[in-house]
A and B are shown apart, each in its own frame.
Chain A
Amino acid sequence: MRAFDFAAPRDIADALGLAGDTSAYVAGGTTLVDLMKLDVLAPEQLIDINRLPLHGIRLGPDGLRIGALERMEDIARHDAVAACYPLISQALLSSASPQLRNMASIGGNLLQRTRCGYFRDVATPCNKRAPGSGCPAQSGDNRGHAILGTSASCAATHASDVAVALVALDASVRLRGAAGNANARADGERTVPLADFYLRPGDTPHVENVLRPGELITEVIVPPLEWARRSVYVKVRDRQSYEFALASAAVAVDLRGGAVHDARVAVGGVGTVPWRLPAVEAALRAGQSHEAAAALAAEGARPLAGNAFKGTLVQRVILRALTELAGPR
């Protein structure tokens, strides 16, 4: 691991004042410390943000608000989250291990890096880690890679489960940066829908989101959605637990008289970003069968040699989610 300076500020303004192009914020450290040990990341300064007042899980008339430092396990076990947004709770509990969930913050979860083996191995080229060096996954080991939102530069899968649930729910992130940024208020604050927060790789896979240097996620905001109580997160992986998704689906349905009146569908493990499926939702709203709607999930997919199975798998994962939600409860 490369040497770095360490600071543990007590308030947000101090943290923002310390941050710069070569610094990194650390909360749980489960992604950052791992990647620093692998030499994939080498920040010159670490800013421990655990003393900042970014806590609280609050459910009110304006929806759910989660402080960025809340830990995955605490959010998943929160009674109101589990009751009103089961897909969030289930997505979190299907992630990582209890130890990692006790450590990892929700803000850090949303910023976790891909598990692509080429990204994590500094001995190989990778456009995400070393822009312009190439993408061995295009013709190499790509069984776990994305089929949606890929480019010739990158097919790395976005690894977060809960981000899939949050995208399905139209969640936003509140960001704080130094004052004076364009598009930000005078105090440097802005709110960005999570769907717009993540960027597809295109020709610049090293730019994964719209965060500016030094900008900090302070809160996750989930709008109210009464019928999200009928929701589920289905995750299929190579082993039963403690593994990333091959394909997953976050689905909520508004059932009226046994028929789907409205639906939210997003999928994970198959996209370069958490992948919302408006065409599947529209087909469900239009009264099409579960099968017909799910069949639209892999439209526009660009499979590589080893991951074409994901196109079929993701349809079946959606189908299983819809079947579970339509059943007696």
Chain B
Amino acid sequence: MDLSSQRQAVDGQVEVAFKVNGTAERLRVDPRTTLLDALRERLQLTGTKKGCDRGQCGACTVHVDGRRVLSCLTLVAMVEGREVTTIEGLAEDDQLHPVQRAFIECDGFQCGFCTPGQIMSAVAVLREGHATTDAQIREAMSGNICRCGAYPAIVEAVKQARS
């Protein structure tokens, strides 16, 4: 009986194979490791930020198979076989993603700590296609807290990137 596709070793570690920004990765991890910690501590992808680490602030937002999720509440063992996109994976060579450009042009941030999460959310909002009005954009972006209060410029950036 194949109880598990991911065999747990005697030392308690699990192996997980997944793609990050198009690159195949294979890690041996303590099952407690979150996707956020794996990205930051094991793969040195520190663009994804740890804010609350409790699923309340959105700073750790990444895409898994194209959907925005919170990497702080995702165990990395659970992304076996999946494709993860982080803020580092948005630009193509020297060309920033249109949403990244819009955040710069609209001043969509102050301290910048929440910005990678804001941008990953905004890219998803445009792809999801449910937000047209300002109110709808604010609702669609409500899972990303900005302690500096750059919200009006964030809404402007989402609108500019859409057009």
Chain A interfacial positions (CB closer than 8 Å to B): 1, 3-10, 14, 17-18, 26, 28-30, 33-34, 37-38, 46, 48, 50-51, 77, 96-100, 102-103, 240-242
Contacts and interface: CB of A to CB of B under 8 A. Distances in A.
Interface in B106-149: 121, 124-125, 128, 130, 138-140, 142-144
Interface in B89-119: none
B24 interface: no
B2 A10 contact: yes
Q: Bin chain B's interface residue count.
A: 35 or more
A241 B138 contact: yes
B75 A241 contact: no
Contacts of A28: 73
B143 A3 contact: no
B43 interface: no
Contacts of B130: 77
Given A1-B32, A5-B31, A100 B3 contact: no
Interface in B35-86: 53-55, 58, 61, 67-70, 73-75, 77-78, 80
A6 B77 contact: yes
B3 A7 contact: yes
Nearest to B13: A6
Contacts of A26: 75, 78
Contact of A8 (B53, B77, B124): B77
Contact of B8 (A6, A9, A100): A6
Contacts of A51: 5
A6 B14 contact: yes
B80 A96 contact: no
Contacts of A3: 12, 30-32
17 contacts: A3-B12, A3-B32, A4-B31, A4-B32, A5-B12, A6-B14, A6-B31, A10-B2, A33-B34, A51-B5, A98-B125, A98-B143, A99-B61, A99-B143, A100-B70, A100-B143, A240-B142
Interface of B: 1-6, 8, 12, 14, 30-32, 34, 53-55, 58, 61, 67-70, 73-75, 77-78, 80, 121, 124-125, 128, 130, 138-140, 142-144
A102 B73 contact: no
A33 B73 contact: yes
B31 A98 contact: no
Nearest to A27: B78
Chain A CB within 10 Å — which of B4, B5, B14 has the most?
Answer: B4
Contact of A97 (B5, B54, B58, B77): B58
Contacts of B12: 3, 5
A241 B70 contact: no
Contacts of A8: 4-6, 77-78, 80
Contacts of B77: 6, 8, 48
A50 B5 CA distance: 12
Contacts of A18: 3
Given A7-B8, A18-B3, A46 B143 contact: no
Contacts of B53: 37
